[in-house]
A and B are shown apart, each in its own frame.
Chain A
Amino acid sequence: MKNNIIDFNGEFDVIPTGKKYAPRIKSVGPKEEKYTNSLKKSIIKSGLCDGMTISFHHHFRNGDYILNDVLNIIASLGIKNLTLAPSSLAAVHEPLIRHIENGVVTEILTSGLRGVLASKISSGLLKKPVIIRSHGGRARAIEAGDIKIDVAFLGTPSADAYGNANSVKGNSTCGSLGYARVDAEYAEHVIIITDCLIDYPNYPASISQKNVDQVVKVNAIGDPDKISTGATRFTKNPKELLMAKNVALIIQKTKYFKDGFSFQTGSGGASLAVTRFLREAMIEKSIKASFVLGGITKPMVEMYEEGLIKTLFDVQSFDKIAAESIQKNEEHFEIDASLYANPHNKGNIVNKLDVVILSALEIDTNFNVNVITGSNGEIMGASGGHSDTAACAKLTVVVAPLFRGRIPTVVKNVHNVITPGSSIDILVTERGIAINPLREDLIELFKDSSFNITSIQTLEKIARDYCGERKPVKFTDQTVGIIEYRDGTVIDLIKAVEKNV
C-alpha cells in the first residue's frame, strides 16, 4: 500500500530495479470467438470479482459513456470494493459518487478529478486516499506492477470482432489512443468496447488483437460532439495574447530556438496561443521543428502541413482536425503513454524535448507548481503531463496571469506540489517575468533585455497588493490524496479541507 511519507528527492534520483511486470500468458485458439453484444455478459465472462482493479482511458473526455455504463452493470452484479485506475476522470463521471458511497469502488488511482466528485473526495468521501500520478508516472507504475490491472475496459471508435481497434473509422473519432495502449499491453483481461464494428482485419490497429480478450458492441461509446471537439480556437483575450507573445519572444532569444528544435504546449488560452507567435518567428527565421509532442491541436497540424514541423508525436488529439490528421498525414504518429513520458524505460520522448510551455493554478516563490488543487484547497484539476515535460525539457516556461479575478496565481506557498520548482525555468505573467535563480545562464541572457524581468518574490508581492491578504485554508490531518511523482516517490499529500460547520 502507498505509504504517506513524502520521499521525493529530485527529478532523476530513483534508479529502477527489478523486472517489468507482465500479465499471465493466455492463449486464444482458432475456434474461439471474442465477440459478444452484451456488456454484462463480457463483464461476467471476464471473471471480475471483489477487490480487483479495473481501468479505463480518458480519450473520450467529457463525452465518455463507457465508465458510467460499465460501473452501473458492475454495481448491479453486486461486485464490491474495486480499485478504479483510469488514466483520468472528467466531470461526466459524477455518478461515481454513488458507487463510492455503495462501496463498489473503494480506491481511485488517477491523473485528476473534476466537478462534484472531486470536491466530495476532497472532503473525505473515499476512505483510502486517491493517488494522483502524471501520465508518465501511470505508465511507469503499470510497467513496474505498482498498478496491476485485472480488467481494462477500453472504448474505441472502431474495432473488428477479433480485437484490432483504432480511431480511424467510427462516428466519434477521438484520434490517438495513446493512454489506452499501455492498459491493453499490461492488463490481465482486455475488453474492447465499440459502437462501430468493422470486418476483420481493422488495420492499422492502435490496439492489437494479440492483447484483446473480448470485443463488445454497444450502441454508443459516447457523445460524438464532446469526443471529437470542434477545432481549438485561438484566444481573443488580449491579456493571454500579450503573455503568449512575450513567451514566444523569450523562446526566440534562447539557444534552444534553432533549426530542428522541438516543443510542446498546453491546450489552453495563453499556452496554445504561443504556437501562433512561434510560427511567425519560425517562418521569418526559416526555422523548422524536428517534432512537436503531446496534445496535438489544429494549429500544430497546420504548421506540419506548411512544412514547419517534421513530426507530430500524438499521445492525445485535442480536436477533430488532429484526430483526422493521424491517418491523413504520414509523419503524424500515435504514441503510447510509456513512450511519451515513462521515466523508467530505455528513453521516452520527453527526454528529447527542447521547450515546453505550461500553465499553472498556483506557483510559489520557489517555482513549485500546483495544477491539482484550487484556491479553496479542493481537488479540481489534473497532473497530466505537467511534471513529466517540465522535468525533461531543456526550457520549461510557465505562463499564467498574476491573478484571476481576485485569486492570486503567484503565492508564498502552494497548497500542493505537482511539479517541483527545480523543473521550472521561467514564469511569464502579464505584469512581469521571473527566472528561476537556478538558471544563471538565462538570468545572464536576459540581464539587460527590454523584458520586464523581476524576482518571483516581487510578483508575489504585487499579486498580494492587488488581491489583499488571503485567509489561509484550514486543513484537517486526514490525507485524501497522495501525489506520486513520476518516479514513484511521494512528492506531496492532499489533506481534507476543514468544513466550517
Chain B
Amino acid sequence: MGKLRRTMMYVPGNNPAMLTDAGIYGADSLMFDLEDSVALNQKDSARLLVYQMIKNNNYAQEVVVRINSLESDLGATDIEAMVRAGVDVIRLPKTETAEDVKKVENIIESVEKKIGIEIGHTKIMAAIEGPLGVINAYDIATASKRLIGIAIGAEDFVTSMKTKRSKSGVELLAARSQLVLAARAANIAALDTVFSNIDDSDGFKEEVKLIKSLGFDGKSVINPRQINLVHEIYKPTDAEIEDAKQIVYTIKEAEAKGSGVISLNGQMIDKPIVERAKRVLELSGLSEEVM
C-alpha cells in the first residue's frame, strides 16, 4: 500500500503563484489541474505553465496532473507534455470504461519510449464521475498495472444521477461504496471527491469521517485550510499506535527466533492484523522508526 494519500490538493493549472506555493501546505499529494479550472482559451497556456513548473520546482510531494479528456483534442498533448515534464501520476477525468484507461496508457507508453525513460514510470489515476464508470469500477481499477488509485468526482456524478449534493451524502453512498470495493479488490487507493464550501468546516469534517469509515484512503481538497482537518481525522489514536507497535515488535522478535505461528497475549497474529498495524504506523508517520 505504501504511499500516504490522505489529502490530494487541487491547484488551478494557470495560476503561477499557487503552483509555486503548492508544496508548502503539507498535502500528501498535489494535483495540478488542466481541466475544469482552466478556461478553454487558456488550455494551451496552462499546459506550458504546468510543464515548466514541474520541470523547475522539485516538489517534495507526489505530483498528479488532471488532463483534459481524450475526446477533446487537448488530452493527448496534455499527456505528452506531462510525461516529458516528469509527472508522477496522470489523472484521467470522466473515466467510464477500462478502455479509457488503456487508451491513456498507450499514449503514455509511446511517449516514455520516445524519450527513453523507464516504461511504467508514469502512473495513472482514474476519476469516476458518472453511473457507467461506477458500474465498471472494478474493470477500470484493474485496467492497467500503472493504476495507483481511483477517485469519485461527485459534481458531475450527482448531475447525471439527476440528484444533488446533500449534507448526509446519501446520494453518493452507493457510488462511494462501489468505488472503495473496487479499489480494495484491485489493491489500489480510493480517493473521495471535493467538498466545495471551504467555510463549512463542520460539514467538511462530517464528510471526512464518513469516507474514512467507508475505507477511503483520503480526499481531494481545494483549500489548504482543509488539509489539517483531514490529517487530524485520519490520525490514529494513541491506543491504536501502542497496539500497532506491540504487534510489529512481536513479529520482529518471532522472525529473529524463526518460529512460524506468532501470537500476542493468546491471540494469533495473522496477515490482516499485521497489515492494519503497518497502516496505523504509516498514518502516524512512525513507520520508519518502528519497522
CB of B132, distance to nearest CB on chain A (Å): 37
Alpha-carbon gap, A241 to B20, bound state (A):
17
Q: Are B24 and A466 interface neighbours, CB within 8 A?
A: no
Alpha-carbon gap, A431 to B225, bound state (A):
17
Q: Are B24 and A430 interface neighbours, CB within 8 A?
A: yes
Alpha-carbon gap, A350 to B170, bound state (A):
57
Alpha-carbon gap, A238 to B25, bound state (A):
8
Q: Are B225 and A239 interface neighbours, CB within 8 A?
A: no
Alpha-carbon gap, A466 to B56, bound state (A):
9
The answer to the question of A242 belonging to the interface, with a C-beta cut-off of 8 Å to chain B, is yes
Measured between beta carbons, the chain A residues less than 8 angstroms from B223 are: 238
Q: 15 A-B pairs, CB-CB below 8 angstroms?
A: A238-B25, A238-B223, A238-B224, A238-B225, A239-B21, A239-B24, A241-B224, A241-B225, A242-B24, A242-B25, A242-B224, A430-B21, A430-B24, A431-B24, A466-B20
CB of A56, distance to nearest CB on chain B (Å): 39
Alpha-carbon gap, A224 to B103, bound state (A):
66
Decide if the interface of chain B is mainly helix, strand, loop or mixed.
helix
Alpha-carbon gap, A431 to B20, bound state (A):
11
Alpha-carbon gap, A238 to B24, bound state (A):
10
Alpha-carbon gap, A238 to B17, bound state (A):
12
CB of A469, distance to nearest CB on chain B (Å): 16
Alpha-carbon gap, A429 to B25, bound state (A):
12
Interface size of B as a range? under 10
Interface size of A as a range? under 10
Measured between beta carbons, the chain B residues less than 8 angstroms from A242 are: 24-25, 224
Instruction: Tell me the residues in window 9-50 of chain B with beta carbons closer than 8 Å to chain A beta carbons.
Output: 20-21, 24-25
Decide if the interface of chain A is mainly helix, strand, loop or mixed.
helix
Alpha-carbon gap, A238 to B20, bound state (A):
13
Closest to A402 in B: B24
CB of A404, distance to nearest CB on chain B (Å): 11
Contacts A238-B225, A466-B20 known; 13 new A-B pairs at CB < 8 A: A238-B25, A238-B223, A238-B224, A239-B21, A239-B24, A241-B224, A241-B225, A242-B24, A242-B25, A242-B224, A430-B21, A430-B24, A431-B24
Alpha-carbon gap, A430 to B21, bound state (A):
9
Alpha-carbon gap, A351 to B25, bound state (A):
36
Instruction: Tell me the residues in window 238-253 of chain A with beta carbons closer than 8 Å to chain B beta carbons.
Output: 238-239, 241-242
Alpha-carbon gap, A466 to B21, bound state (A):
11
* Interface membership of chain A positions 266-302, coded 1 if the CB is closer than 8 angstroms to chain B and 0 otherwise: 0000000000000000000000000000000000000
Q: Which of A238, A241, A466 gathers most chain B CB within 10 Å?
A: A238
Measured between beta carbons, the chain B residues less than 8 angstroms from A239 are: 21, 24
Measured between beta carbons, the chain A residues less than 8 angstroms from B224 are: 238, 241-242
Measured between beta carbons, the chain A residues less than 8 angstroms from B21 are: 239, 430
* Interface membership of chain A positions 408-420, coded 1 if the CB is closer than 8 angstroms to chain B and 0 otherwise: 0000000000000
Alpha-carbon gap, A238 to B221, bound state (A):
14
Measured between beta carbons, the chain B residues less than 8 angstroms from A238 are: 25, 223-225
Measured between beta carbons, the chain B residues less than 8 angstroms from A241 are: 224-225
Measured between beta carbons, the chain A residues less than 8 angstroms from B25 are: 238, 242
Alpha-carbon gap, A430 to B23, bound state (A):
10
CB of B198, distance to nearest CB on chain A (Å): 10
* Interface membership of chain B positions 222-244, coded 1 if the CB is closer than 8 angstroms to chain A and 0 otherwise: 01110000000000000000000
**Top 10 A-B residue pairs of the complex, sorted by shortest distance between their CB atoms:** A238-B224, A430-B24, A431-B24, A239-B21, A242-B25, A242-B24, A242-B224, A238-B25, A238-B225, A238-B223
Alpha-carbon gap, A431 to B224, bound state (A):
15
Alpha-carbon gap, A430 to B22, bound state (A):
11
Alpha-carbon gap, A97 to B235, bound state (A):
61
Measured between beta carbons, the chain A residues less than 8 angstroms from B20 are: 466
CB of B242, distance to nearest CB on chain A (Å): 20
Q: Which of B24, B25, B223 gathers most chain A CB within 10 Å?
A: B24
Q: Which of A241, A242, A430, A466 gathers most chain B CB within 10 Å?
A: A242
Alpha-carbon gap, A430 to B224, bound state (A):
13
Alpha-carbon gap, A239 to B20, bound state (A):
12
CB of A399, distance to nearest CB on chain B (Å): 14
CB of A252, distance to nearest CB on chain B (Å): 16
CB of B232, distance to nearest CB on chain A (Å): 13
Closest to B17 in A: A405
Closest to B57 in A: A466
Measured between beta carbons, the chain B residues less than 8 angstroms from A431 are: 24
Closest to B285 in A: A450
CB of A112, distance to nearest CB on chain B (Å): 28
Alpha-carbon gap, A239 to B224, bound state (A):
9
Alpha-carbon gap, A242 to B25, bound state (A):
7
CB of A80, distance to nearest CB on chain B (Å): 50
Instruction: Tell me the residues in window 205-259 of chain B with beta carbons closer than 8 Å to chain A beta carbons.
Output: 223-225
Instruction: Tell me the residues in window 149-172 of chain A with beta carbons closer than 8 Å to chain B beta carbons.
Output: none
